[in-house]
Amino acid sequence: MLSKGNLGHGQSSIKNGYVVTVDPQRRVYPDGFVLINGNKIEAVGNSAQMPTRDVARTIDASGMIVIPGLINAHQHFYYHLFKGLGHGLLLEDWFPHLVFPVLPHLTDDDMELTSYLAAIEMLSTGTTCCLNHLRTTTSEELLQRISAPTAELGFRQVIGKEVQCRLAGNPRHPRDLADEIAYVEDLIPRWKHTHDGLTRLCLVAECTSVFVEHKLTSEELLIGSKKLADRHGLKLAAHISGGTLSFDKSYLQILRKTGQTDAQLLMQMGLLDSSWILVHGINCTPTDLRLIANSGASLIYCPTSEAVRGGGIGPAAAALAVGVNVALGSDGPMFDDSVDMLEQMKACSFLQGVKHLDPTIMPPERCIEMATINAARAMGLDDEIGSLEVGKLADVAIFDLDTPHSTPATNPVASLVYSARGPDAHTVFVEGREVVTNHKLTTFSDTKHLFARARARTQEIVTKASLFDRAASAWTKPLPQLTERIATS
C-alpha cells in the first residue's frame, strides 16, 4: 500500500519564482531562487545571482510563489474521521453531544489511520509541520502508531503529549497524578527528538473552563505538568478562554465562581511564562493579553473553528498589538471540515477586519507570518524552520498562481492569501525531501484504499455512537426559524 517516494536529500534548485523569505528583513525576490543542499537551504536570492552548478533537480517556478512550508500550530488528528458532524453546536454542547460519544470507540488503528489522513491533507496543501494536540489517553505504543505515518510521509509533527490523571471527570484513567508524571517523564527522552528530528515533543496540560467544568484538570495537575516541562525544556500547550459568553454556559459560570480568567489563573499560580502555547483565547481580556505578552507565551488563533461554532472572533490583532507572538492553527476538521492553512490565513484577515471595522488591520503579509515564522517561534523551532534562510532546514512550499482563480496574480502575496487554494501546492519539500511534485504526493501511493478504510470506519463509529442524525442534511427536517433568533440576538 505504501510508496517510498523520493527519499533522497540531494541538491535541488528552485528558480524564477516569487520568493517570499519571511526572514528578519522580510526580503522578497520577485524573480528569485532557492538552492537546497541536502536537508538545508544553501542560498536564497535573485535568480540572476543563482550559483552555477549541477543539481539533481531544477524547478522552474515561473508563475508561482515560493514560501516557507506552512505550519499548523494547533490540530487534532483524530478529528479527520468526523468531518461534517460538528456543525450547529456551541463548544459547550459539542463535547457532550459529539466528542464524548465517539471517544470510547476510537482504537489505536483509528489513531494511526487519522495520522495518515492528516499528513496527506496537510502536505497536499502546502503545510509541512503541525502540532498534534492530544487529549485522549496515549500509551507509548500509541505514540509510535501516531508518529510512524507522518515520518513515513515526510511530514514534520510536534506531538503534544497529554498529561492527564485519574480525576472525577476522568475516573477510568490508569494512573494517579504521581504515576502519570513518572510515566511521561520516562518516555520524554525517547520522544523529545525522534524519526531523525521529524517528530518532536511538547506537553499538553489543560486549564480552560470547559475542562474545569468537566473536572478533567486540576491545579495540582497544572503544577506537576509545568515542573515536568521545565525539567526537560519542553513547550506546554493548553486551550484557554474558549466557550460562549453566556450566563448559562461554562466560561462565564467558571469566571463568576472563581473571579479569574484562565490566563490570570496561570499567572497567579506562578506558571505563566514563555513555555506556554495558549490556544484560542477567544474571551481573553486586555489584561489577559498583557499578561501573555509580558510572559512571552504564544497565542494560537484558529479563525474558522471559532467562527463555525459561534464562539466569537479571537483577539488576534489586539494580541499582536501588545506584543504577543500569535500563530495560526486549524483546530480540526470535526469543527470546520478542513485543515487548509490558506483558508485560515484568508479567514484571519477577513474576520479581524470585521471585528475591528478596519480592512488594514490584518494584511496578507501578517497572515503569512502567523502561518510560518510565528508558528515556528511558538513551538520553539524558529532557529530551524519558518523562513527561507541560509542554514535552515529546507521546508519549502511552492504554490501555483497561474490558475483560473488566481490569475492575474498582480500582487502574488495577496493572491496567495485571498485567491489561492491549498491544492494549488505544486511542489513541497520537507528537509530537502520532495514530498509533493506537480500537485501529487510522492510518499504515499494508495490513497484510494486508505480513504475507503476511513469512510468505512467512520460509518462504524457513527453507528455505535448513535450519531447518524448529525450526518443527515438539515433538509430532512424543518430548518431552524431565524426571525425570533435574530430579533433576540
Q: Which pLDDT score is estimated for 386?
A: 98
- Residue 486 — pLDDT band, cuts 50, 70, 90? low
Could you tell me the sign of the dihedral formed by the alpha carbons of 61, 63, 67, 72, in that order?
negative
Q: Mean pLDDT check: name the lowest of 243-247, 261-265, 332-336.
A: 243-247
Look at residue 244 and tell me whether its pLDDT is greater than 80. Answer: no
Range 43-50 average pLDDT = 94
Range 21-47 average pLDDT = 97
Q: Which pLDDT score is estimated for 1?
A: 37
pLDDT in tens, 377-433: 999 999 999 999 999 999 999 999 999 999 999 999 999 999 999 999 999 999 999
- Residue 100 — pLDDT band, cuts 50, 70, 90? confident
pLDDT in tens, 148-164: 999 999 999 999 999 99
Give the start-to-end residue ranges of the domains of the chain.
11-68+388-441, 70-378
pLDDT, greater one: 471 or 460: 460
Look at residue 3 and tell me whether its pLDDT is greater than 60. Answer: no
Look at residue 5 and tell me whether its pLDDT is greater than 60. Answer: no
In the chain, % of residues over pLDDT 90: 79
In the chain, % of residues over pLDDT 70: 93
Look at residue 311 and tell me whether its pLDDT is greater than 60. Answer: yes
Range 462-487 average pLDDT = 78
Q: What is the CATH number of domain 11-68+388-441?
A: 2.30.40.10
- Residue 487 — pLDDT band, cuts 50, 70, 90? low
Give me Rg for the CA atoms of the chain.
Answer: 22
- Residue 478 — pLDDT band, cuts 50, 70, 90? confident
> What is the overall mean pLDDT for the chain?
92
Range 87-109 average pLDDT = 88
Look at residue 137 and tell me whether its pLDDT is greater than 60. Answer: yes
- Residue 7 — pLDDT band, cuts 50, 70, 90? very low
Bridge partners (DSSP) of residue 28 are 20
CATH 3.20.20.140 given to domain 70-378: yes
User: Among candidates 419, 422, 403, which has minimal Cα distance to 411?
Assistant: 419
pLDDT, greater one: 88 or 24: 24
Q: Mean pLDDT check: name the lowest of 234-243, 258-267, 346-355.
A: 258-267
Q: Which pLDDT score is estimated for 378?
A: 98
Q: Which pLDDT score is estimated for 89?
A: 87
- Residue 261 — pLDDT band, cuts 50, 70, 90? confident
Q: Mean pLDDT check: name the lowest of 59-68, 327-336, 380-389, 474-483.
A: 474-483
Look at residue 273 and tell me whether its pLDDT is greater than 80. Answer: yes
Look at residue 214 and tell me whether its pLDDT is greater than 80. Answer: no
Range 53-81 average pLDDT = 95
